[in-house]
Structure 1
Amino acid sequence: MSNDSCNLPLDTDTFGLTCIYGLIFSLGLPSNLLSLWGLYQLGRSGGGGCQLVYILNLLLSDLLQLLTLPLWILYLQGGHRWPYGHLTCELVGYVFYVNVYASVMFLCLIALDRCLAIVYPLSSRRVRSVRVAALSGVAVWTLTFLFCLSGLLPSVFDSDRQLCLEYYPVSPSFAHFKITSVVLGFLLPCAILGYTSAHIGVTLRRSPSLSDHERHKIVGILVVITVNFIVVFGPYHLVGGYRFVSLLLTDEPCGLERSIFLIYRLCYGLTSLNTLLDPLFYIFLCPDARLELQRSLPCLGRGQHARKTTSLTARAQPGTQGETEKGHNNLIAV
């Protein structure tokens, strides 16, 4: 199983990427669906504000990516041969790139929203509206669609070798597109994240009115966004930047492709991890959304409800439950 022009060992990434995609799909699909349900319930109750719009778009992008993972697993198990036709490859490859850069943009919008809310809480009220957030979401999707479409034309499918979204070596035009995507889709968002984090940090130090819980919540949001950028998107863009710049400068592209093939492919697979991080933090660690999930799905909060009921019963009946607990404590002491 080698590439005809560069003699690449295409089967070396099969085990690693299959494990990554299988784990992400099995955990990410239910968590994203639960997250969407929590967002829906939160929106019905009138909560969430503009962040609800950004997170909803983020989760929709994640779901698109998750639904393509079984096809990628079958592609890997089939020895890097795409059996589903030209059009399906074009669509699935397009969804991958759109998911990566739409996720990056919505993470930036969430960070900017937090910065405006903390640094300029009064003057930013008009900007931080649901209407502006919805228009921003439409703009992000439109720009991302057009940008990815310009880079993936004329095709991402190699009909001779049935490779999907793989070129060895890549064409100069595709290398230029990937270098541009590293600058606009990673380095620029990193600069925006650094700017907003610095301003939020200064404001938190100067605002004694904020409680420790509020500080921890704000810092937690920034930490997870930073982890998403550095751990999930960082390796793919940094290794990819090195790969595509080097391919434009080297006289032996196939040697470079062979030396970097496995590490680049694994970094490529790690970008799907954002589909796990997004619902894990923005929904399940968000008190409002978690409360709405417990209200709409009582089974999620049954244990907590039972503990609260027991506590209230003990307080309301000190002569029975209270004495029972006291006797139980005495037995433990003996």
Structure 2
Amino acid sequence: MDTSYTTPSSLPLRDPLDMWSNGSGNSSHCPDTEAWDWLYTMQPVYMIIISVLGIVGNVFVLVVFCFHKKPCTVAEIYLSNLAAADLLLLACLPFWAANWLNGFDWPFGDLMCRLVSAGISMNTYSSIYFLVLVSGDRYVALVHTMSHGRMRRPRYAKLSCLAVWGLGLLLSVPTLNFRLLKYVEQQNVTACLLEFPNLQVWLACDIMLILLGFIAPVVAISYCTYRIILALHGQRMERFNAENTERKATFLVLAVLLAFLLCWIPFHLLTIVDILWRHGVVRGCAVEQALDICSQLFSYLAFSNSLLNPILYVIVGKNFRKKVRELVKQISLSRKTASSTKSQISTLKTFASN
């Protein structure tokens, strides 16, 4: 008897393909719902839109941070790596859009099935840990102002980012291992599925996602944010000018943190409800249908966070807007210098030929 458990979602949640697999969806006696009809139409378009806009926005952020004449601060190193993590996710979404448009018949082969899913999983873990780093940086800058010069060094920041990428890759190993192509006879498609060897492994992966991918980092972020807010309120007006740069950077970080939490909290709460449903703690057709619909809505709400960050940098980040203006001037000056040099060379050649 086949004892494996399958879910084909791009994240470890439910998906309409569950009803075609050998997982929990097969045992459902609930009537079919028409809720998926509008999702089939909406999702590919939505994924393509946020992919295109998000890739443009995050590339713009990386260009500003990487090509500005001044070296990046520690906070900017973390934010640029967050933009890179968002790019990784956004580059994977068009594959899933194509999968939807192709009737869930995965056209890209087994390797891409594993790599695309692992890329999305890496973003799930790495993005929140980059936010842990950036909130920790703001905490040190505002709460431990006397020692932040020793603790906030670009070299340490780069090593921390490297460690986060390594952690994200390590935590994505289960997705890379359990993703596979499988023929689904009922629908005559070869689907890209997450197939776990048993329910216990599935449960362990979900618990790892909740604990390491959300609860632990959110506790760290919440503590740092609480101390940051106290520090901002406790600073006297005469110190405002001295701390103005740090304040501007902190307001941007707080906006990015708030957007992340608003986008990702529903996804992780639904993961908990889904675990309870699989183990029979909560039951009922209404719960099952709500899980089916909300798993899609909340997954793509989470994906939207990768599009929001560049928008926040422009709206909230005064220092970022200043960098953009300076970069534009820098490029304009470089073009004028290059044009002047070409003109001088042309004049010299003309003079020499005469």
Given the two structures, how large is their TM-score scaled by the length of structure 1? 0.78
Residue in structure 2 matching 1:221, options 228, 234, 253: 253
Counterpart secondary structure, 2:137? helix
Residue in structure 2 matching 1:247, options 254, 273, 278: 278
Letter in 2 for 1:261: D
Which residue does the alignment assign to 1:159? Answer: 182
Residue in structure 2 matching 1:111, options 135, 138, 142: 135
Deviation at 1:300, TM superposition (A): 11
Q: Partners of 2:322 and 2:282 in 1: how far apart?
A: 59
Q: Is the 8 A contact 1:86 1:159 kept in 2?
A: no
Deviations 1:133-179 (A, max 9, x none): 01101111111111110x22532124122332556998431222112
Q: Is the 8 A contact 1:17 1:266 kept in 2?
A: no
Find out whether 1:3 has 2:20 as its counterpart. yes
Q: Partners of 1:168 and 1:262 in 2: how far apart?
A: 23
The equivalences for 1:171-210 within 5 A come to: 171-208=199-236, 209-210=239-240
Q: Is the 8 A contact 2:182 2:193 kept in 1?
A: no
Q: Partners of 2:195 and 2:38 in 1: how far apart?
A: 16
Deviation at 1:103, TM superposition (A): 0.5
Q: Is the 8 A contact 2:248 2:318 kept in 1?
A: no
Which residue does the alignment assign to 1:313? Answer: none
Letter in 2 for 1:227: A
Find out whether 1:102 has 2:102 as its counterpart. no
Which residue does the alignment assign to 2:8? Answer: none
The equivalences for 1:284-323 within 5 A come to: 285-297=316-328
Find out whether 1:32 has 2:55 as its counterpart. no
Deviation at 1:27, TM superposition (A): 1.5
Distance 1:88 1:247, change over 3 A: same
Q: Is the 8 A contact 1:41 1:292 kept in 2?
A: no
Q: Is the 8 A contact 2:113 2:181 kept in 1?
A: no
Instruction: List gaps (5 residues or longer) in structure 2.
Output: 1-16, 27-31, 185-189, 333-354
Percent sequence identity over matched residues? 25
Distance 1:284 1:106, change over 3 A: same
Which residue does the alignment assign to 1:324? Answer: none
Counterpart secondary structure, 2:120? helix
Q: Partners of 2:46 and 2:181 in 1: how far apart?
A: 25
Q: Partners of 1:300 and 1:99 in 2: how far apart?
A: 32
Letter in 2 for 1:210: F
Deviations 1:92-151 (A, max 9, x none): 0000010111111101111110011000012132221101101101111111111110x2
Counterpart secondary structure, 2:151? coil
Which residue does the alignment assign to 2:96? Answer: 72
Which residue does the alignment assign to 2:10? Answer: none
Letter in 1 for 2:51: F
Distance 1:131 1:216, change over 3 A: closer
Deviation at 1:248, TM superposition (A): 3.0
Instruction: List gaps (5 residues or longer) in structure 1.
Output: 302-334
Q: Partners of 2:308 and 2:111 in 1: how far apart?
A: 30
Distance 1:254 1:153, change over 3 A: farther
Q: Partners of 1:168 and 1:145 in 2: how far apart?
A: 19
Residue in structure 2 matching 1:15, options 41, 51, 60: 41
Distance 1:73 1:154, change over 3 A: same
Deviation at 1:288, TM superposition (A): 3.5
CA-atom RMSD, angstroms? 3.1
Which residue does the alignment assign to 1:145? Answer: 169
Deviations 1:268-311 (A, max 9, x none): 1222112112222235643343233234336999xxxxxxxxxx
Flag the structure with more relative contact order, 1 or 2, with Cα contacts below 8 A and sequence separation at least 6. Answer: 1
Counterpart secondary structure, 1:63? helix
Which residue does the alignment assign to 1:262? Answer: 293
